[in-house]
A = this chain, B = another copy of it.
Amino acid sequence: VRMRFFEQLDELRGLLVVCAASVTSAIRWANESMSTGDVEIAARVLTVADEVRESRTRAQEMIEQLLVRQQPVASDLRLALAGLHLASDLERMGALAAHIAKIVVLRHPLWMVPPEAAPSLHRMGEIAERLAWTVARVLEVGDSEAAGRLDRDDDEMDILHRDMFAVLFSDWPHGVKVAVDMALIGRFYERYADHAVSAGQQVVYLVTGQTPTG
């Protein structure tokens, strides 16, 4: 019975690996559409976010079935619950990438990132993508060392998020609408990073069975 449990857990892991890769692509395309104003790339982000939402539902169903049929022992159960949390974090990451892309679509063809905000936003985008990539990598190849980077990246994201407000609140010449867009995008990146860190913790647990100490 436990053998079968691990097979099913592996199948679930396969699904989650695909999701983690998808939310990495989603944020990369969100970044690209933000930089270039390309609405076709933005549309791709929305499609991927929908797919990740469906995969989350599928993962939940798999986990429920797995728990009901297999009468798991405590450690297996915790793995299954970690999978549930991870699926939820990945779904939110997809949704947040989509929120960024939607703003680009909404403002098309007038979208542009003002030069005052561009350095912070681009750096936030880079960090978000790296966080997602790290989560995907740890999950796929079990390289749990890489997870140590997550907290540092999240700290930098928080600093950039504060910097963004400082830029918006001092002599901002681009008006209220653009400022609100920048503030919301900053918020979405910051939330994306929070969910990536949480996803990373679940992934480390799935890969090592250990609660991360960092």
Q: What is the interface of chain A, defined by CB distance below 8 A to chain B?
A: 64, 67-68, 71, 73-74, 77-78, 81, 84, 88, 165, 168-169, 172, 175-177, 179-180, 183-184, 187
Contact = CB atoms under 8 A, between A and B. Distances in A.
Nearest to A69: B74
Contacts of A64: 74, 77-78, 81
A68 B84 CA distance: 16
A113 to B, nearest CB: 16
A77 B177 CA distance: 47
A77 B81 contact: no
B168 A176 contact: yes
Contacts of A184: 183-184, 187
Nearest to A71: B71
Contacts of A73: 68
Given A68-B74, A168-B177, A180-B180, 5 more contacts: A64-B81, A169-B180, A179-B179, A179-B180, A183-B183
B187 A177 contact: no
Contacts of A172: 176
